[in-house]
Structure 1
């Protein structure tokens, strides 16, 4: 927990490390901001603190037009923690409430809607509807300020049930109308969203974010037809297809991050963004697509906390110093990642070619979506692959944003033929567990407890550096290879 003294000092020093970890509002102005807002520092007695932007909006504050607090990276807590509130936040980010309502969220969590409401309100200052409403407002702002789509179309694309609800939410959250919010865009709308132009996005992150090692891995793993990495190192572009709730998508993400930026007071605001372009067959998938990209690139991580813990280990300190802020690779499709973790590249390519769904129109070399578990379970029911895809298809195994990690891990290990190392890889990348690591003895790799709760990051540092784990870890009976799956994952 962050105490009030620390929070005010973060606001006073405009410390971007706390962006997304909390928000502050100023009673005399009626505005809420991110901690790094470059505006004049408010007096302590006028400041109120909130754990989420939704809580600030619920208390009657509107978003600062200068620092745009709704655009900050999400709190790293929701990815680190495994409790009910964290699982709920991950599912709300994935758009579950927009698709299934509060009842659907509660069912997935295994609680009643009233219990979910009570838990979220107690900890976050806002219930699931308010949290989803704030998320819809952010999606609407992105569409208003980057496209020329009609306002009515934007309302429904962002997930609002009516234009009136959309207008009221924008007015409450931003203190203006949708038309006024569009007019306030720094560069104005960039034009219509078409299959050729797509939707421009900036995926914000806190702290440094070296993308080179992650692009190296994605290039090594790339499956023709569903993903590709093009360009020279340092200026590469990662492109892939996305299977989304309402349709298909194609995304392109630039390797080179933006920022850090100089503030109005002459200081440096650390953190920045990745430039991306998203092509969707249905704009209602915007929020879900963005969240899945954020999980793939681990953009909600807290690199300061990770580097502080791992950098204190003399065996890892040189690796952390060489790559500060290194992110752990995730996935845009957990079910796909689990299947790929079992198979070699040739088998994965065969599955895509034989069972993948073809795009309505190819996007360059991208032609297919990865086959769904139910399709694979029916087509190839035998062996570990059949057991895995059947479990994914019938819900025995859940790897979605709100899955309980321990339950999923036990279900993975219960599959006939599943080894602990592959299960740990799936837990780290598909479930986003920052502390996932092979069990003692897996691959001959001992993973020190001193690296907790960031053991997945420690292993990724070793992979990125090309350092054999046994060269820095506790000695073990036999040399240990670089941790891997058949697809080359760390």
Structure 2
């Protein structure tokens, strides 16, 4: 988009572009999302930025009305396979907070200087500034949804010092942390903040229509006991699962029903430093950063898919909350995966209803699993021969998977599609799929759904073999 087209989007308050770019107003010192309800500023006073971090770097503070820090992420970062796209996925997963810029650069296979230069050139901000913007958003969530002391929030959000935390909050939000907390701008209020045992309530924003029923059907058909569950009736279901995170574990829940462009969620963490990572992994699982307008526009050009696009806008291509877990499940099937959880999974310190374990780590399966194919996969994941982290090179990962025993091209492509969240994969050789680029994963999802009868999770036959595993667990 050129700047005049961006200004037209701002003038029409077009929410389709929220998160795709940001605009700042020189006369007010504020930056906003394109759909901001405030009076449209004069064109001569407007500046455009590709990221919130870039606007912040140029001295602009976040708008109080439209909360630009809470928009969905750009779909571009899931599409792109270059160093910038991979870097953005890893920054979202918290790599810079945990390992610093050298750790990010090492994972990308570049020097710190090269990474800094490329991100600055394309995004207007380097990795530190991008991570800082993310930390500020996490801090705002904790300030407004928990009763934690400010000092604990500062370090939980990833700040190195209380001074750095205070300075960042003042710069980005033009308020002190205490004033930001008092504002409770999420509308959740004091009652929620006092209910510390109920977890952290969140609104997971998405762009455009979201076919939640389709996503929840897929999740319901492939749940693994003790790690996942779905409760409630269609249309009002809640998906719950455990997560293994860098600093601890989490129990998360997401509601199917939504009253706006978000899904209501709640996260219970054993270590608050994992909040950003947990949120990003839920977003990847639910494909919340997709651009349904672009996807549906392209797929509606196919006569075979056009009726389904018209009937069900916003169909997503769900990813996974843990790519290594998904790889194991794709190999052995969901029923066998449940047995692995029972035998090798780590028990939660405090069970949460039917959720009692986190999925076993690859290193544990490498040492203990009896299946030689599973041991080979687990060993490759544990020693880094196969990398499935947020910034993994998708081509290299798929090739490495295909070299392992028991994993053929279809399974490797499924892991690439869902485990690595690649929006442009056709594992099945679907006729006509070449015309769906760069959104083949979405076209495949629609085509397979239309070709297969609806099967409820309750009536699904149990899986006893990897070769007979449920197609819904990996489609």
Shorter-chain TM-score: which interval?
Answer: over 0.9
| Residue deviations 1:121-155 (CA, integer Å, cap 9, x gap) | 00000000000000000000011111111111110
Tell whether the 8 Å contact from 1:222 to 1:228 is kept in structure 2 after alignment. yes
Question: Gaps (5+ residues) in structure 1?
Answer: 260-271, 469-482
- How far apart, CA to CA, are the structure 2 residues paired with 1:448 and 1:104? 38
Q: What is aligned with 1:450?
A: 435
TM-score (norm: length of structure 2) = 0.94
The worse-fitting range, judged by mean Cα deviation, of 69-78 and 250-259 is 250-259
- How far apart, CA to CA, are the structure 1 residues paired with 2:428 and 2:380? 23
Q: What does 1:254-265 correspond to in 2, within 5 Å? A: 254-259=255-260
From 390, 399, 407, the equivalent of 1:410 is 399
Q: What does 1:31-46 correspond to in 2, within 5 Å? A: 31-46=30-45
Tell whether the 8 Å contact from 1:17 to 1:304 is kept in structure 2 after alignment. yes
Q: What is aligned with 1:110?
A: 109
The worse-fitting range, judged by mean Cα deviation, of 183-192 and 48-57 is 183-192
Alignment pair present for 1:251 and 2:240: no
Shift of 1:347: 1.3
From 441, 448, 453, the equivalent of 1:463 is 448
Q: What does 1:79-118 correspond to in 2, within 5 Å? A: 79-118=78-117
Q: What does 1:396-435 correspond to in 2, within 5 Å? A: 396-435=385-424
- How far apart, CA to CA, are the structure 2 residues paired with 1:7 and 1:193? 42
SS of structure 1 residue aligned to 2:401: helix
Alignment pair present for 1:133 and 2:127: no
SS of structure 2 residue aligned to 1:350: helix
Q: What is aligned with 1:478?
A: none
Alignment pair present for 1:161 and 2:155: no
Shift of 1:449: 1.0
- How far apart, CA to CA, are the structure 2 residues paired with 1:424 and 1:359? 32
Tell whether the 8 Å contact from 1:213 to 1:464 is kept in structure 2 after alignment. no
Tell whether the 8 Å contact from 1:215 to 1:255 is kept in structure 2 after alignment. yes
- How far apart, CA to CA, are the structure 2 residues paired with 1:19 and 1:486? 35
Q: Following superposition, which runs of at least 4 residues in structure 1 exceed 4 angstroms of deviation? A: 483-487
Alignment pair present for 1:120 and 2:119: yes
The worse-fitting range, judged by mean Cα deviation, of 343-352 and 149-158 is 343-352
- How far apart, CA to CA, are the structure 1 residues paired with 2:238 and 2:331? 27
Q: What is aligned with 1:180?
A: 179
Alignment pair present for 1:348 and 2:337: yes
- How far apart, CA to CA, are the structure 2 residues paired with 1:279 and 1:215? 21
- How far apart, CA to CA, are the structure 2 residues paired with 1:4 and 1:176? 31
Tell whether the 8 Å contact from 1:413 to 1:419 is kept in structure 2 after alignment. yes
- How far apart, CA to CA, are the structure 1 residues paired with 2:373 and 2:273? 35
- How far apart, CA to CA, are the structure 2 residues paired with 1:119 and 1:450? 31
- How far apart, CA to CA, are the structure 2 residues paired with 1:447 and 1:160? 49
TM-score (norm: length of structure 1) = 0.91
| Residue deviations 1:454-473 (CA, integer Å, cap 9, x gap) | 111011112333449xxxxx
- How far apart, CA to CA, are the structure 2 residues paired with 1:247 and 1:119? 33
- How far apart, CA to CA, are the structure 2 residues paired with 1:199 and 1:22? 28
SS of structure 1 residue aligned to 2:448: helix
SS of structure 1 residue aligned to 2:396: helix
SS of structure 1 residue aligned to 2:193: coil
Q: What is aligned with 1:76?
A: 75
Q: Rate the CA distance shift 1:54–1:405 in 2: closer, same or farther, 3 A.
A: same
Q: What is aligned with 1:367?
A: 356
Q: What is aligned with 1:267?
A: none
- How far apart, CA to CA, are the structure 1 residues paired with 2:198 and 2:428? 46
| Residue deviations 1:281-309 (CA, integer Å, cap 9, x gap) | 00000000000000000000000000000
Q: What is aligned with 1:50?
A: 49
- How far apart, CA to CA, are the structure 2 residues paired with 1:10 and 1:49? 12
Q: What is aligned with 1:357?
A: 346
Q: What is aligned with 2:462?
A: none
Shift of 1:488: 3.4
Q: What is aligned with 1:327?
A: 316
Q: What is aligned with 1:489?
A: 474
Tell whether the 8 Å contact from 1:341 to 1:487 is kept in structure 2 after alignment. no
- How far apart, CA to CA, are the structure 2 residues paired with 1:390 and 1:485? 25
Shift of 1:439: 6.1
Tell whether the 8 Å contact from 2:433 to 2:444 is kept in structure 1 after alignment. no
Question: Gaps (5+ residues) in structure 2?
Answer: 454-467
Q: What is aligned with 2:291?
A: 302
The worse-fitting range, judged by mean Cα deviation, of 124-133 and 375-384 is 375-384
Alignment pair present for 1:239 and 2:224: no
Q: Rate the CA distance shift 1:75–1:457 in 2: closer, same or farther, 3 A.
A: same
| Residue deviations 1:45-80 (CA, integer Å, cap 9, x gap) | 000000000000000000000000000000000011
Shift of 1:115: 0.6
Shift of 1:487: 6.1
Aligned-pair Cα RMSD in Å: 1.5
SS of structure 1 residue aligned to 2:55: helix
